[in-house]
Amino acid sequence: AFSVRTVYPRLSRERPETGLNAWPVRINRRVFLGDFVQYLVDWEDRQLVVRRPPMEHFEEGEEVTLTVAPEHCVLLEA
């Protein structure tokens, strides 16, 4: 298990070449909150909150790739 701040995960329509820390997710809900858009994504059997700038636009129901840089992850248990 690991922890990550909601501003660090990235969403992309393309899968990265490395595949490191990359998972398929589905956009469940999108809420515009002025300075950012908050996405509730379905990730395997969990839901995760991801905050992105309003210039990055994804539709509810869209399947995208979630990535997190290793330096932004905090390991909680091995």
Q: Over 90: is that where the pLDDT of 74 sits?
A: no
Distance CA 77, CA 66 (A): 21
Q: Name the amino acid, one letter, at 72.
A: H
Task: Select the more confidently predicted residue: 71 or 37.
Answer: 37
pLDDT on residue 78: 65
**pLDDT tens-digit profile of 39-54?**
999 999 999 999 999 9
Task: State residue 72's pLDDT score.
Answer: 86
Task: Report the sign of the C-alpha dihedral through residues 16, 21, 26, 31, in that order.
Answer: negative
Contact predicate 30/7, CB 8 Å: no
